[in-house]
Amino acid sequence: MFETRYVDVGWAKLAVHTVGSGPPALLIHGYPLDHRVWLDLLASPLTARNTLVAVDLRGHGMSPWAGDPVHAMELFADDCAALIQTLALGPAHVAGLSMGGYVTLALWERHPKVVRSLALVDTRSAADSEQGKAGRMAAMDAVVNAGRRALALAMIEALVPSDADLITKGRIASMIEFQPVETIIADLRGMRDRVDRTWVLPTVRVPALVVVGERDTLTPPAEATQIARAIPGARLVVVPGSGHLVPIDGAAVLVRELGAFWRDSE
C-alpha cells in the first residue's frame, strides 16, 4: 500500500502518494483525473526498483482546490518543481499522462534541472485548435448545466475503446465525478489557453519515452510519432488495443516499458 502525505507548495497543498524504493519517478495524471489513474503502476513490480510518487495536482483527488480560476500548465509545472525540490527527489524521472504531459513539457521548459528523464503518455505538444477551444467552452457549459455525471458519461467514450469492460468504465467515471466543478472549469480554461510547446521538443536533453494507445482518438498515434521524431533519441511505443488511458487499459505494457526505460536512464 502506498503512503499518502501532504506537501505545501506556495499557496497550494498537494497530496502525494508514495510507494517503492530506488530513484524517484513523479507520475502526473491527466484531466479530470487524479493519482488513481496510476493505481496499476503503484501496485506493480516497478516499485522494486523505483520510488513512485503519484501527485494529485492542485484541486484534484485529495489536494484541495486553491482558489485559482485558471489552472495554467505553468502553474502545475511550478507546483511539481516545488514538490520535487521540497521532497529532495531531484532530478526525478517524470511521467505525464495527457494533461500531465502538457505539464511535463512545461516543467522541462521552466525547471529542466529537476528532470532526470521524460515519459510522455497519450499527450500532444500543440496548443488547442479553434475547434478544440470551442470544445472546452462546451465542456464548461456541460459541467455547469448538466453536472459531472453527464460530463463523465460523455468523456468515457473518448477515453477508452467502446468495448472496454464495465469495471474500467466505472472506475474512470467515478474518478471524473469526484473532481470539484471548480477544478474542472479551471483545468478547461488552462488547457484552452495553453501555448504550443512543439518548439520545446528538440530542446529535450534527457532520455525520453513517448507512449500512445493504438486506439487513442484524442491524442492519436500520428501525433505521438511526431513528438518522438522531434525529441532527440526518443523511443516511441504504440500500445496495441489501448485507448487514451494507457495507464489503465495498457498498464502491463506501460509497466514493462517504463521499467526498462528508467533502468536505462539511471
Q: Which is nearer to ligand MLT, 91 or 135 (CB)?
A: 135
For ligand MLT, the binding residue among 24, 30, 59, 243 (CB under 6 A) is 30
Residue 30: name the closest of 136, 103, 92, 94 by CA.
Answer: 103
- Which residues 208-237 are close enough to bind ligand MLT by CB under 6 A? 218
In whole angstroms, how close is the CB of 264 to ligand MLT at the nearest point?
A: 27
Q: Which is nearer to ligand MLT, 99 or 204 (CB)?
A: 99
98 binds ligand MLT (CB under 6 A): yes
In whole angstroms, how close is the CB of 52 to ligand MLT at the nearest point?
A: 19
In whole angstroms, how close is the CB of 30 to ligand MLT at the nearest point?
A: 3
For ligand MLT, the binding residue among 14, 19, 28, 31 (CB under 6 A) is 31
Q: Which is nearer to ligand MLT, 23 or 184 (CB)?
A: 184
Strand ordering across the sheet containing 235-239: 3-9, 12-20, 51-56, 24-28, 92-97, 115-121, 208-213, 235-239
- With cell 499518502, the residue in question is 4
191 binds ligand MLT (CB under 6 A): yes
Q: What distance, in Å, lies between the first and last C-alpha atoms of the chain?
A: 25
Residue 148, CA distances (Å) to 32, 52, 59, 144, 181 in order: 10, 30, 15, 8, 7
Task: Judge residue 252's burial from the number of C-beta atoms within 10 Å of its C-beta, 0-12 exposed, 13-18 middle, 19 or more buried.
Answer: exposed
Give the relative orientation of helices 148-159 and 130-145 as an angle to the nearest 10 degrees. Answer: 140
In whole angstroms, how close is the CB of 31 to ligand MLT at the nearest point?
A: 4
Q: Which is nearer to ligand MLT, 55 or 191 (CB)?
A: 191
Element (H, E) at 86: helix 73-86
In whole angstroms, how close is the CB of 124 to ligand MLT at the nearest point?
A: 7
Please give the angle made by the CA atoms of 37, 39 and 44, to the nearest 5 degrees.
135
70 binds ligand MLT (CB under 6 A): no
The dihedral region occupied by 10, where left means phi > 0, alpha psi between -120 and 50, and beta the remainder, is left
The cell for 70 is: 485558471
In whole angstroms, how close is the CB of 263 to ligand MLT at the nearest point?
A: 27
99 binds ligand MLT (CB under 6 A): yes
Residue closest to ligand MLT (Cβ) = 30
In whole angstroms, how close is the CB of 99 to ligand MLT at the nearest point?
A: 3
Q: Which is nearer to ligand MLT, 23 or 30 (CB)?
A: 30
Residue 195, CA distances (Å) to 38, 108, 191, 200, 231 in order: 26, 14, 9, 11, 18
Question: Applying CB under 6 A, which residues contact ligand MLT?
Answer: 30-31, 98-99, 191, 218
